[in-house]
Amino acid sequence: KRLKCIFKLKTEGLNIKAEICYNKEKIGNILDSIIKDIEIKPENAAVRIVNGKTEVTPHRNGLLADRELTLYKIYSSLESGNLDDVVISMESTRPDITTEMVKDIAFKLGEYQTVFNPENESRSHNIKTACMKINGKLILPDQVFSMDEMLGERTEKNGYRTAKVIVGSELVDGLGGGICQVTSTLYNAVLLSGLEIVERRNHSIPLSYIEMGRDATISYGYIDFKFKNNSAYAVYIEAEASGGRVHTAIWGKRPEVLRTVKIRTKIIETIQPEGVETKEDDTLSPGDSVVVREAVPGYIVEVYRDIYDVHGNLAKTEKISVDTYQPQKKVIRVAP
């Protein structure tokens, strides 16, 4: 029987079905290493404002591999016994921000500035740091900008120094003192640009650098200033601090119909402080007293945004907010 089988093999041959085996993990790893070398990542268009002029860096499309489709082609080729080369499937990909989206950012929609004391080095440093963190930020249509998120946690590691901050109605030392001035300045530029305010809170007391009703405070993880780009085009934040001035501007596409935006405030109530706060001071002689702070009234302020057409006619009025500033008692130090 064995001889018969050998004779048959010599004269007729024998078909043996071979099973093709392959390691999917190794194939995937090899493909990934190839993809890493040939893929081109898409690059967003970039825009910056230099001396009042817009500079746009065009976007670059990417070339990305379709990994799953390529693996399918490899497996199909192996299973069919076709060992020809397999072409990696590639796809052209556009970046999130294209040149078309930013090429028209050349018009100043609104701007505002406030003054600060450059001799206060720590506070000035924080103001400049905050400006650097938001300068050049691009906000796409329907995107919400968060000041708190952009500035990050107020720590030395993030570039902040200790300066005076408002806690309640008192000035105390705290990291990041001064960033609320940048926030307030940006808030006004946003208001004048006609964009939508999503979240904003005033300080508890009036400030020296800005009119009541036009300030905006933030506190990390607790109080934020947010606005939404409710226009159809991308907008760009310009922010800088130099020479004792904080300047912010919102840039975008020139509107088809020009308009003028003005912010109007109105004190609707004055709140008189009640009583006197006394603090014992054992450095004083019996009967002596020192005035730490005179009484300061509080206020309730309404804020409006008036929009005028190209002919100077009032076209629309928006009530922006009703802000309350707390009264401050007179504070004196007295001998025990």
Q: How many helices (H) and strands (E) does the chain have?
A: 7, 19
Q: How far apart are CA 95 and CA 112, in angstroms?
A: 32
pLDDT at residue 18 tops 70 = no
Q: Tell me if residue 71 falls in helix, strand or coil.
A: helix
Fill in the amino acid letter for 164.
Answer: K
Report domain extents, the chain.
Answer: 2-96, 104-256, 258-336
- In DSSP terms, 90 is beta-bridged to 65
169-188 mean pLDDT: 93
Q: How far apart are CA 303 and CA 318, in angstroms?
A: 9
Fill in the amino acid letter for 333.
Answer: R
Predicted model pTM: 0.84
Identify the pLDDT of residue 60: 96
Buried/exposed code over 193-229 (b: 16+ C-beta within 10 A; e: otherwise): bbbebebbbbbbbbbeebebbbbbbbbbeebbbbbbb
Pairing of strands 330-334, 276-280: parallel
Beta strands in 80-234 (DSSP E): 90-93, 107-115, 138-139, 144-146, 162-167, 170-175, 196-199, 226-228
Confidence of residue 302 (pLDDT cuts 50, 70, 90): very high
pLDDT at residue 272 tops 80 = yes
Of 121, 115, 109, nearest to 195 by C-alpha is: 109
pLDDT at residue 159 tops 90 = yes
15-32 mean pLDDT: 80
Identify the pLDDT of residue 69: 92
59-64 mean pLDDT: 95
- In DSSP terms, 227 is beta-bridged to 145, 197
Q: How far apart are CA 246 and CA 240, in angstroms?
A: 6
Identify the pLDDT of residue 81: 75
Q: Which has more pLDDT, 167 or 61?
A: 61
Distance of CA 253 to the CA centre of its chain: 20
CATH 2.20.230 at 258-336, yes or no: yes
Pull the structure tokens for residue 320.
């922006």
Do the beta carbons of residue 40 and residue 80 sit within 8 Å? no
Q: How far apart are CA 86 and CA 88, in angstroms?
A: 6
Q: Tell me if residue 253 falls in helix, strand or coil.
A: coil
Confidence of residue 51 (pLDDT cuts 50, 70, 90): confident
Residue tagged 């904080």 (tokens): 246
Residue tagged 């020009």 (tokens): 258
Of 300, 293, 304, 301, nearest to 328 by C-alpha is: 293
- In DSSP terms, 328 is beta-bridged to 296
Distance of CA 218 to the CA centre of its chain: 14
pLDDT at residue 59 tops 90 = yes
Identify the pLDDT of residue 75: 87
